[in-house]
Amino acid sequence: MKVACTGASGFLGPGLVQGLLEAGHTVHVLSRNVEHALGRLPAGVTGSFFDGSTPLSPDALAGAEGVVHLAGEPVDQRWTHEAKHRIHYSRVEGTRVLVEAMKQAGCVRHFVCASAVGFYGGARAGQTLTEEDPPGDDFLAHVCQAWEAEALRAEEAGLRTVRLRIGVVLHPAGGVLHRMLPVFRMGAGAKVGNGQQYVSWVHREDLFQLMRFALENFTLSGPVNATSPEPVTNATFAHTLGAVLERPAALSVPGLVLKARFGEMARVALEGQRVMPRRALESGFQFRFPDLTGALRDLLPS
302 pLDDT band, cuts 50/70/90, is: confident
Per-residue pLDDT at 239 exceeds 80: yes
Per-residue pLDDT at 183 exceeds 90: yes
Q: Name residue 274's beta-bridge partners.
A: 128
What confidence tens digit (pLDDT) does each residue in 35-58 have?
Answer: 999 999 999 999 999 999 999 999
User: CA torsion sign, 294 to 127 to 208 to 38?
Assistant: negative
Rounded distance between C-alpha atoms, residue 77 and residue 82, angstroms: 11
Q: Name residue 201's beta-bridge partners.
A: 168
What confidence tens digit (pLDDT) does each residue in 126-161 have?
Answer: 899 999 999 999 999 999 999 999 999 999 999 999
Rounded distance between C-alpha atoms, residue 265 and residue 279, angstroms: 29
**Cα distances (angstroms) measured from residue 243 to each of 229, 231, 250, 296:** 21, 17, 11, 10
- DSSP string of 70-125, one letter each residue: -----SSS---HHHHHHHHHHHHHHHHHHHHHHHHH----EEEEEEEGGGG-S--T
- DSSP string of 143-197, one letter each residue: HHHHHHHHHHHHHHTT-EEEEEEE-EEEBTTBHHHHHHHHHHHTT--EEETTS-S
Per-residue pLDDT at 209 exceeds 90: yes
pTM: 0.97
Contact assessment for residue 201 and residue 230, using Cβ atoms and an 8 Å cutoff: no
Q: What is the mean pLDDT of the chain?
A: 96
pLDDT at residue 150, as a whole number: 98
Per-residue pLDDT at 123 exceeds 90: no
Per-domain boundaries in the chain: 2-169+202-227
* Percent of the chain's residues with pLDDT above 70: 100
User: CA torsion sign, 291 to 136 to 271 to 161?
Assistant: positive
What confidence tens digit (pLDDT) does each residue in 242-277 have?
Answer: 999 999 999 999 999 989 988 999 999 999 999 999
pLDDT average, residue stretch 2-19: 96
Rounded distance between C-alpha atoms, residue 131 and residue 223, angstroms: 6
Per-residue pLDDT at 125 exceeds 90: no
Task: Identify which of 1, 296, 2, 7 has the alpha carbon closest to the alpha carbon of residue 164.
Answer: 7
Would you tell me which CATH number, out of the four given (3.30.420.40, 3.40.50.720, 3.40.50.150, 3.40.30.10), belongs to the domain 2-169+202-227? 3.40.50.720
Rounded distance between C-alpha atoms, residue 225 and residue 264, angstroms: 24
**Cα distances (angstroms) measured from residue 171 to each of 56, 151, 203, 300:** 32, 27, 7, 9
Rounded to the nearest 5°, which phi and psi values hold at 247?
-135, 150
Rounded distance between C-alpha atoms, residue 87 and residue 120, angstroms: 17
Rounded distance between C-alpha atoms, residue 83 and residue 234, angstroms: 26
The identity of residue 159, as a single letter, is: L
User: CA torsion sign, 72 to 237 to 295 to 215?
Assistant: negative
Rounded distance between C-alpha atoms, residue 80 and residue 248, angstroms: 35
pLDDT average, residue stretch 67-76: 95
* DSSP 3-state of 52: coil
166 pLDDT band, cuts 50/70/90, is: very high
